[in-house]
């Protein structure tokens, strides 16, 4: 560990004496332990393409201009208390909520409340490539880069202290939905200015300051993140003093912690554990349809997978029904489209790829392809879209082996997982996508647009101008029926070209101890823990 990194970690409490204590023992009476398997490489969702920072932390540390109601799936006010849409969807004006305080942390004490300067800073940092903050910590904003927002947002302007105007180059019917995702937090411009004066701009993404219900207290890499409540939270003081995000155990280890009470909430339990969870009177379960999708991506830039017929043969060889039975245990449906059925643009006429290994063998024989060896990259951690990625990979490996295709599974984990998944020398990537937006554009462009090849989220390395043009026309349409027609065309293009094979559209699962109350389980990702409490503990006064 370098002296610089050690100093930075000490400054946010990572190496404090309490780090060696059991996280659960410190929180039973005044907090909860949330167990999830994963790594983080930033505390700023702008720089992430998924994982714990998006699924869990963002809703605790930050707020966005807009939010999505987890029950009605409608856009609702958040830091923007109202908004206007003008110029047929090319201009958006947001009226900001007054008296919203930023977090007071050991590394920053705000002197003012949130205003238009913070909104302008948060978005120009991502969209304006000439902005002095754009290149800090790499200059990559995977989600918005995949949407080409740097080219489509003409300006972000402060009209007054509580009013911000976004002008787009072209109308975009999905724009509001993208601003409601966890990838669009509002940061503190005052904090950024302080870091600039101190010549420590890199800390903006490592020592977070937001307006959310909880703020960072302690982080121990690979073990846990401790959050403490924000007493200035604009919706009211959170009910729990602290939240511990336990990163230290995967698989059955997390289940054991839930059963023994070391964990209060278990994110993404394996479907094979459902019987245990349901039969234990000390536990409760939540299941909801999710905006997520598991898929197998083919590297379309690498022979022989650049041949559509080869991709079709591999798809025919995979027994998806067996995946449903062995991985999801009735908690998912076989996917027929990149979009989950919960999406309003889902094509009900879409067909699941048939399982026909004999036909697959004949296709490969006709192409004179034999003794094919492929490398498949597989993330280790359980995800909303797949509770057991390695087991899934082994089943696919066995299926392809039956038609003479040899698959070398390469497990990947750690904070550089995203870069590894985009490696050009791989053949197959077992992956998935989860979004906190109800707009289909949040699936199509981040996963499969040409721009997403550069942003690091297009694992198929696939670029089709006709597909991109179809998505663009969908954004220009202000009529829902028109957008649905274009998205059906997009789904047909994907079915014909098969850059990736949709595998499963799973339910979101969450298990928790009987005494935990107030959890809100959203199909779009984890919601704020501000209203969560333990009913057998005496809450401490703020």
Give tens-digit pLDDT for 109-128.
Answer: 999 999 999 999 999 999 99
Range of the domain at 312: 292-507
Judge whether 253 lies within some domain.
no
Q: Higher confidence at residue 270 or residue 88?
A: 88
d(CA 447, CA 450): 9
Query: Per-residue confidence at 20, pLDDT binned at 50, 70, 90?
Result: very low
Query: Per-residue confidence at 326, pLDDT binned at 50, 70, 90?
Result: very high
Q: Which residues contact 372 (CB under 8 A, 6 or more apart)?
A: 304, 364, 404, 405, 406
Q: Is pLDDT above 80 for 249?
A: no
Judge whether 207 lies within some domain.
no
Q: What single DSSP character describes residue 141?
A: -
Closest residue by Cα to residue 265 from 277, 289, 369: 277
d(CA 14, CA 434): 29
- Which whole number is the average pLDDT over 491-506? 96
Say what angle helices 441-448 and 465-476 make with each other, to 10 degrees. Answer: 150
Judge whether 463 lies within some domain.
yes
Question: For residue 298, how far is the Cα from the chain centroid?
Answer: 21
Cβ atoms 94, 164 nearer than 8 A: yes
> Tokens for 38?
């994963």
pLDDT at 268 (0 to 100): 84
Query: Per-residue confidence at 1, pLDDT binned at 50, 70, 90?
Result: very low
d(CA 226, CA 219): 6
Average per-residue pLDDT in the chain? Answer: 89
- Which whole number is the average pLDDT over 145-174? 95
Q: How far is CA 384 from CA 29, 178, 485, in A?
A: 29, 20, 29
Judge whether 376 lies within some domain.
yes
Q: In sequence order, which ranges of 274-387 are alpha helices (DSSP H)? A: 274-279, 308-317, 320-323, 357-366
Element holding 405 (H helix, E strand): strand 405-412
Residue tagged 């939905």 (tokens): 177
pLDDT at 446 (0 to 100): 92
> Tokens for 303?
């022979």
> Tokens for 152?
């489509």
Query: Per-residue confidence at 252, pLDDT binned at 50, 70, 90?
Result: low
Maximum Cα–Cα distance for the chain, whole Å? 73
User: Could you read off the pLDDT of 358-394 as tens digits, one per residue?
Assistant: 999 999 999 999 989 999 999 888 888 888 999 999 9
Judge whether 134 lies within some domain.
no
Query: Per-residue confidence at 148, pLDDT binned at 50, 70, 90?
Result: confident
Judge whether 225 lies within some domain.
no
CA atoms within 13 A on the CB side of 88: 8
Query: Per-residue confidence at 21, pLDDT binned at 50, 70, 90?
Result: very low
Q: Is pLDDT above 90 for 93?
A: yes
pLDDT at 27 (0 to 100): 57
Q: pLDDT above 90 covers what percent of the chain?
A: 69
User: Could you read off the pLDDT of 434-478 as tens digits, one per residue?
Assistant: 887 889 999 999 999 999 988 778 999 999 999 999 999 999 998
Cβ atoms 324, 333 nearer than 8 A: yes
Q: Is pLDDT above 90 for 535?
A: no
pLDDT at 236 (0 to 100): 96
CATH classification at residue 441: 3.10.105.10
Kind of pairing between the strands at 500-513 and 265-267: antiparallel
Judge whether 441 lies within some domain.
yes
- What's the number of domains the chain is made of? 1
> Tokens for 97?
């909520």
Cβ atoms 25, 535 nearer than 8 A: no
Judge whether 194 lies within some domain.
no
To the question of pTM greater than 0.75 for the whole model, the response is: yes
């Amino acid at each position: 560990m370098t002296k610089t990194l050690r100093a930075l970690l000490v400054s946010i409490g990572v190496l404090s004496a309490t780090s060696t204590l059991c996280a659960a023992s410190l929180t039973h009476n005044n907090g909860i332990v949330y167990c999830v398997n994963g790594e983080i490489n930033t505390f700023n969702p702008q720089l992430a393409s998924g994982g714990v920072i998006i699924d869990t932390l963002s809703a605790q540390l930050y707020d966005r201009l807009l939010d999505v109601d987890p029950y009605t799936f409608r856009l609702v006010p958040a830091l923007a208390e109202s908004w206007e849409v003008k110029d047929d969807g090319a201009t958006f004006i947001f009226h900001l909520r007054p008296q919203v305080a930023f977090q007071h942390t050991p590394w920053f004490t705000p002197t003012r409340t949130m205003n238009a300067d913070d909104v302008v800073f948060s978005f120009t940092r991502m969209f304006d490539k000439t902005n002095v903050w754009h290149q800090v910590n790499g200059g990559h904003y995977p989600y918005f880069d995949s949407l080409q927002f740097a080219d489509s947002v003409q300006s972000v302007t402060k009209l007054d202290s509580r009013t911000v105007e976004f002008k787009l180059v072209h109308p975009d019917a999905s724009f509001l939905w993208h601003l409601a995702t966890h990838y669009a937090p509002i940061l503190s411009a005052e904090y950024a200015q302080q870091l600039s004066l101190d010549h420590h701009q890199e800390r903006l993404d490592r020592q977070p300051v937001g307006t959310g219900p909880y703020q960072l207290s302690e982080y121990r890499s690979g073990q846990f993140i401790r959050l403490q409540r924000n007493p200035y939270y604009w919706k009211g003081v959170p009910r729990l003093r602290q939240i511990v995000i336990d990163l230290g155990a995967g698989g059955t280890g997390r289940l054991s912690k839930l059963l023994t009470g070391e964990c209060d909430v278990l994110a993404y339990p394996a479907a094979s554990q459902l019987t245990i969870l349901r039969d234990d009177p000390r536990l409760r379960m939540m299941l909801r349809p999710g905006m997520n999708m598991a898929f197998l991506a083919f590297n379309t830039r690498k022979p022989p997978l650049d041949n559509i017929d080869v991709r079709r043969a591999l798809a025919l060889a995979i027994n998806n029904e067996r995946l449903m039975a062995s991985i999801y245990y009735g908690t998912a449906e076989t996917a027929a489209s990149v979009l989950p059925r919960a999406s309003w643009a889902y094509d009900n006429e879409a067909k699941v790829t048939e399982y026909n290994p004999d036909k697959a063998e004949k296709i490969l024989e006709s192409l004179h392809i034999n003794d094919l060896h492929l490398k498949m990259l597989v993330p280790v951690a359980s995800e909303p879209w797949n509770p057991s990625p390695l087991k899934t990979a082994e089943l696919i490996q066995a299926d392809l082996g039956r038609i003479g295709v040899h698959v070398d599974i390469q497990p990947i984990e750690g904070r550089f997982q995203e870069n590894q998944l985009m490696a050009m020398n791989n053949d197959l990537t077992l992956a998935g996508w989860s979004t906190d937006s109800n707009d289909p554009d949040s699936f199509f462009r981040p996963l499969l647009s040409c721009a997403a090849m550069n942003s690091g989220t297009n694992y198929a390395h696939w670029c089709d101008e006709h597909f991109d043009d179809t998505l663009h026309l969908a954004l220009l349409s202000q009529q829902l029926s028109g957008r649905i027609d274009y998205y059906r065309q997009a789904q047909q293009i994907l079915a014909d070209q098969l850059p990736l094979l949709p595998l499963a559209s799973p339910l979101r699962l969450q298990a928790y101890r009987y005494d935990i109350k107030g959890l809100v389980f959203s199909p779009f990702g984890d919601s704020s823990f501000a209203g969560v409490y333990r009913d057998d503990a005496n809450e401490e006064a703020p």
